[in-house]
Amino acid sequence: MNDTFLKVCRGEKADYTPIWIMRQAGRYLPQYQEVRSKVDFLTLCKTPELAAKVTIQPVEILGVDAAILFSDILIPLEAIGMGLRFEEEKGPIFDKPIRDIKAVKRLIDINPKEHVPFVLETVKILKKELKVPLIGFSGAPFTLATYMIEGGSSKTYLNTKKMMYTDQQLFKSLMDKLTTNTISYLKGQITSGADAVQLFDSWAGILSPDDYRNFAFPYVLKIISELKTLKVPIIYFVNNCGGLLEIARECGSDVIGIDWRVDLSNAIDRIGKDKVIQGNLEPIILFSDKNQIKKAATDIIQKGKMANGHIFNLGHGILPTTPVDNLKILIDVVHEMG
C-alpha cells in the first residue's frame, strides 16, 4: 500500500507531498455522474457497492494518495431519527428541526452496526480494493447541530446562536448527544478498517472565537481525545478558520486542515511549526490554466515546508463544474514539486 499520506499524518518523513481533494468523489467526474444518473444521492450513499465504486474512482482516474469514504455528514443524523431529504437548490432539509429537549431526547444513540451497516460495509469493501489509505469522516458536533437546529443551511444561523445563548442546557444536551454519537460513528468506521479519520467543522467559522471556545471546541476536544486510543491519524478541518487558529491548534489532532482564506505561512506561524497541516488551495484556481495552477500550488508547497508535515488539499470541497484535466495538472504538479 502507498502509505505516504499516513506517514505525513504521523509527522514522519515521506518521499513527496501527498495530495487528496475534499469532495474528490463527486459530480465533476463524468464517471461519478454516470453512477449517480441511475440512483439518487442518498441511495448512492447507502449502497455499499456503489459508494465503494465512486470512492475508488478518483484514486484510479487521478492518482490521489488517499481515498475518502463516499458519504455525507448528515447520514448519521438521518440514522438517529432526523428525517433527511435533499432539494436541488436548497440542499439538505430536516423538516423537523430541533428546538426543544423532547426533540433531543427522541434521538437515538447510534450503533453503527445496527443503524448505518452500509457505511461499515462500504469501508470493508474499500479496504479490500484500495491501494491507498482510506479516510473515514464525520461532521463535528457544532456543524451537525447547525443543520439540525436550522433545519438545513442558513445565512445567519440565528436559531442556532439563539439556542446557544438563551437555552444553554438544551444546546448542551444536543451537543453531548452528537459528541457521543460522533465518537461511536467514527469508532465504527475505524474498527471496520478506516486508516484515518477527518472531522469536518464546516460551520465553526461562523462563531466568534469566544463562542467557538465555549460552544464548539470542547466537544471536538472530547472526540479527539477518545479516538486517540485507536491509534489512527485524526484530521480536524475547521472551515473559515482565520480567526480561530489560536484555539483550534490545541485540539490534539494529528493534522489540522486549513481553508483557502488563510495564508498557509501565517497559519503555520499561528498553529506552531510542530504540527502537520493540510490544505489549502483556492478551489476556483482549478478553473484557470496550467501556469496559474502550477504557480499557486508551488507557492503552497513552499509554505508547507515550514510545518512538521504537509498534506496537499484544496481549501474547501472541489466544485461540481471543475475541469477534470486541471485537477490532473494539479495532482501532477504536487507530485513533481512536493
Between the alpha carbon of residue 73 and those of residues 76, 164, 219, 287, 337, the distances in Å are 7, 21, 16, 27, 33
Asked if 268 touches its own copies (CB under 8 A), the answer is: no
Exactly one of 2, 173, 288, 302 binds its own copies (CB under 8 A); that residue is 288
Q: How far apart are CA 314 and CA 19, in angstroms?
A: 9
Exactly one of 161, 187, 310, 335 binds its own copies (CB under 8 A); that residue is 161
Residue 231 grid coordinates: 491509534
Catalytic, 72? Answer yes
**CA proximity to 243, closest of 212, 265, 216, 279:** 212
Catalytic, 201? Answer no
DSSP per-residue string spanning 160-227:
HHHHHHH-HHHHHHHHHHHHHHHHHHHHHHHHHT-SEEEEEETTGGGS-HHHIIIIIHHHHHHHHHHH
Question: Min. distance of Cβ 102 from its own copies in angstroms?
Answer: 22
Asked if 253 touches its own copies (CB under 8 A), the answer is: no
Residue 63 or 242: the one with the smaller Cβ distance to its own copies is 242
Asked if 118 touches its own copies (CB under 8 A), the answer is: no
Question: Min. distance of Cβ 286 from its own copies in angstroms?
Answer: 10
Q: How far apart are CA 157 and CA 304, in angstroms?
A: 33
Exactly one of 3, 121, 176, 299 binds its own copies (CB under 8 A); that residue is 299
Question: Min. distance of Cβ 166 from its own copies in angstroms?
Answer: 6
Asked if 289 touches its own copies (CB under 8 A), the answer is: yes
**CA proximity to 50, closest of 137, 128, 136, 126:** 126
**CA proximity to 211, closest of 178, 165, 155:** 165
Among the candidate windows 53-61, 162-170, 224-232, 329-337, which touches its own copies by CB under 8 A?
Answer: 162-170
Q: What value, to the nearest 5°, has the Cα angle with vertex 128 and ends 123 and 132? A: 80
Between the alpha carbon of residue 286 and those of residues 33, 137, 315, 328, the distances in Å are 19, 25, 12, 10
Among the candidate windows 21-29, 35-43, 256-264, 305-313, which touches its own copies by CB under 8 A?
Answer: 256-264
Catalytic residue among 3, 10, 16, 36: 36
Catalytic, 85? Answer no
Asked if 241 touches its own copies (CB under 8 A), the answer is: yes
Asked if 287 touches its own copies (CB under 8 A), the answer is: yes
Residue 95 or 289: the one with the smaller Cβ distance to its own copies is 289
Catalytic, 147? Answer yes
Count residues near its own copies (CB under 8 A).
37
Question: Min. distance of Cβ 203 from its own copies in angstroms?
Answer: 12
Q: How far apart are CA 201 and CA 239, in angstroms?
A: 6
Catalytic, 254? Answer no
Asked if 209 touches its own copies (CB under 8 A), the answer is: yes
Mapped onto helix, strand or coil, the DSSP state of residue 312 is strand
User: Residues in the site for its own copies, rule: CB under 8 A?
Assistant: 156-158, 161-162, 165-166, 205-211, 240-244, 246, 260-263, 266, 282, 284-285, 287-289, 292, 296, 299, 315, 319, 321
Catalytic machinery residues = 23, 27, 36, 72, 147
